[in-house]
């Protein structure tokens, strides 16, 4: 990929803005890189008062001071003011022994001169030359005018919702022959959102510490990594879908002890001598694009194709929802680590994610019961497959919310309003944090009513949907 433009990462990145913090009139001492910053005032004073060492620098500092003055320095430096406009004496050529420079050297200095980036003596020599050489004078004027055009690129925090609006608008005007399946659009949107967040990250952001948190066997678990490490985690687990679709495994030659999310991630982290870097972004993004593209070609029937996750599997359309969910959850981990805001997914995508969790809950309840982690249920009734059974009403509030009846006694039973024994109400984002293992079942802000054991079981089952 990458033409010159893409290589420009960090050009206007968060760390770059710091350069302006020193304010206009910076630390520059003409022609001497070794002079420490605090001697600057002495240097400037010398230039102004004695006029022995005059030049564009003095003019520039003077002209910019008012703008940068007592208030905060401008984020975008003002265009430089030429010495002629600075209200200061023009360099007095010859006063302190003029530099004698050849025409080619003077010409080569024009760019630096226009940017006020040469020594006062050189500036004086150039300016004297401009009075004598029409060609150089023309170019000097042209380059000066060009300096005014230098502007920092606009900060480009594109509204993520714009992507959806633009794409939908296009697809209405010309319906696609090969659409992205409905069940893949949350993944498409979430990966695009995360990629946009990563766009301006500098090294300090990529290596910011992150603690991955989840819930296992009745307790909270966590693992330390970095922002780049989180992205490597997403790369390797998305890789399960990639492999199921016949795409290349991002693990390559690395052998994971088990074809499961945590095992693959740990193997990937271990295989490198160095912690992951920003270099992981390209492969992650390319893979997510390839996945969206490939599922578009497999057609809607492929949605049922199983994707193995090690000790369980999900049909492709659910796996894509699961990956969208994980992408959002970890994007939030990343955003927290670097102190950026991050919004929840679009309501209809959030709804799909909640629906997936609600559909997985009965199976998880049964597994936990078998493992002795959930109540074996004094009230438990045997229910024939496909028949309505005792149910918990899960009411999710907020955008993307809705109502689900979770059958409590068997994954094969059908949730039913007539057999409701308990009612839990919580906010959609809160429910997702619970399912992500980011809040504990005991702490989840849930309104509860009815069979307390059933409620406890369902909340714990929701938390145990989480994994590394």
At 412, list the tokens.
């094969």
Verify binding: residue 135, another protein, rule CB under 8 A: no
Pick 156 or 442: Cβ nearer another protein: 156
Q: What's the rounded Cα separation, in Å, for the pair 107 and 120?
A: 16
Residues 55-84 that bind another protein (CB under 8 A): 77, 80
Closest to 366 (Cα-Cα) out of 260, 467, 461, 434:
461
Name the DSSP class of 176: -
Beta bridge partners of 313: 308
Q: For the segment 377-436, give every residue that binds another protein (CB under 8 A).
A: none
CB nearer to another protein: pick between 26 and 58: 26
Please identify which residue in 27, 222, 272, 370 interacts with another protein, judged by CB under 8 A.
27
Kindly tell me which of 156 and 217 has the beta carbon lying closer to another protein. 156
Question: 132 CB contacts (<8 Å, ≥6 apart)?
Answer: none
What is the nearest approach in angstroms of another protein to the Cβ of residue 438? 28
**36 binds another protein, rule: CB under 8 A:** no
Whether the CB-CB separation of 417 and 445 falls below 8 Å is answered with: no
Q: Does 371 bind another protein (CB under 8 A)?
A: no
The three state secondary structure string of 18-52 is: HHHHHCCCCCCCCCCCCCCHHHHHHHHHHHHHHCC
136 vs 116: CA distance, rounded Å: 16
CB of 119 to another protein, least distance (A): 7
Q: Is 169 in the site for another protein (CB under 8 A)?
A: yes
Does the protein bind another protein through residue 179 (CB under 8 A)? yes
Give the angle 184-189-191 at the CA atoms, nearest 5°: 95
Q: Which of residues 244-303 bind another protein (CB under 8 A)?
A: 285, 289, 292-293, 296
Nearer to another protein, 8 or 39 (CB): 8
Instruction: Give least dist CB 318 to another protein, A.
Output: 20
Q: Measured between alpha carbons, how far is residue 388 from residues 38, 190, 192, 292, 311 in Å?
A: 80, 36, 41, 37, 28
What are the angstrom distances between the C-alpha of 378 and each of 216, 262, 395, 455?
Answer: 25, 35, 25, 14
Q: Is residue 11 near another protein by the rule CB under 8 A?
A: yes
Q: Which of 14, 31, 98, 344 binds another protein (CB under 8 A)?
A: 31
Query: Cα 350 from chain centroid?
Result: 19
Of positions 135, 174, 301, 339, contacts another protein by CB under 8 A = 174
Among 158, 279, 371, 445, contact with another protein (rule: CB under 8 A): 158
- Is 111 a binding residue for another protein by CB under 8 A? The answer is yes
Read off the DSSP letter of residue 345: P
Spatial CB neighbours of 293, under 8 Å, sequence gap ≥ 6: none
Q: Cα–Cα distance between 401 and 438 in angstroms, integer?
A: 19
Interface residues toward another protein, by CB under 8 A:
1-5, 7-8, 11, 16, 19-20, 26-28, 30-31, 33, 77, 80, 108-112, 114-115, 117-119, 139, 142-143, 145-147, 149-154, 156, 158-159, 162-163, 165-167, 169-171, 173-180, 188, 192, 195, 199, 285, 289, 292-293, 296
């Amino acid at each position: 990929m990458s033409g010159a433009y893409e290589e420009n990462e960090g050009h206007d990145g968060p760390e770059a803005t710091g350069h302006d913090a020193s304010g206009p009139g910076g630390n520059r001492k003409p022609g001497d890189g070794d002079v420490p910053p605090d001697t600057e005032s002495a240097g400037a004073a010398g230039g102004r008062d004695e006029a022995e060492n005059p030049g564009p620098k003095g003019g520039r500092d003077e002209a910019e001071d008012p703008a940068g003055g007592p208030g905060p320095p401008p984020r975008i430096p003002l265009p430089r003011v030429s010495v002629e406009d600075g209200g200061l004496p023009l360099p007095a050529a010859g006063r302190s022994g003029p530099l004698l420079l050849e025409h080619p050297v003077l010409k080569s200095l024009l760019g630096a001169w226009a940017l006020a980036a040469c020594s006062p003596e050189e500036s004086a020599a150039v300016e004297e030359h401009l009075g004598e050489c029409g060609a150089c004078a023309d170019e000097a004027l042209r380059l000066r005018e060009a300096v005014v055009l230098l502007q920092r690129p606009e900060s480009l925090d594109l509204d993520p919702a714009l992507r959806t609006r633009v794409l939908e608008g296009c697809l209405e005007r010309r319906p696609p022959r090969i659409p992205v399946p409905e069940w893949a659009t949350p993944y498409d949107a979430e990966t695009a959102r995360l990629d946009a967040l990563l766009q301006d990250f500098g090294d300090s952001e990529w290596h910011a510490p992150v603690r991955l948190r989840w819930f296992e066997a009745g307790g909270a678990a966590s693992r330390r990594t970095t922002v780049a490490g989180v992205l490597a985690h997403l790369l390797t687990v998305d890789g399960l879908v990639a492999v199921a679709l016949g795409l290349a495994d991002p693990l390559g030659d690395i052998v994971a002890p088990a074809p499961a999310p945590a095992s693959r991630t740990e193997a990937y982290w271990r295989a490198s001598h160095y912690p992951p870097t920003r270099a992981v972004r390209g492969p992650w993004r390319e893979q997510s694009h390839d996945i969206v593209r490939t599922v578009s070609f497999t057609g809607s029937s492929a949605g049922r194709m199983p994707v193995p996750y090690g000790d369980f599997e999900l049909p492709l359309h659910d796996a894509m929802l699961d990956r969208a969910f994980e992408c959002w959850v970890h994007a939030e981990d990343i955003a927290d680590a670097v102190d950026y805001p991050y919004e929840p997914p679009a309501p209809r995508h959030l709804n799909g994610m909640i629906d997936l969790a609600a559909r997985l809950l009965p199976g998880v309840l049964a597994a936990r019961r078998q493992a002795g982690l959930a109540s074996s249920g004094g009230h438990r009734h045997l229910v024939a497959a496909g028949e309505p059974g005792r149910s918990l009403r899960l009411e999710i509030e907020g955008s993307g919310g809705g109502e689900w009846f979770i059958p409590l006694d068997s994954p094969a039973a059908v949730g039913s309003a007539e057999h409701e024994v308990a009612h839990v109400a919580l906010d959609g984002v809160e429910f997702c944090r619970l399912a992500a293992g980011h809040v504990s079942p005991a702490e989840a802000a849930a309104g509860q009513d009815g069979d307390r054991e059933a409620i406890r079981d369902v909340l714990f089952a929701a938390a145990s949907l989480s994994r590394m």
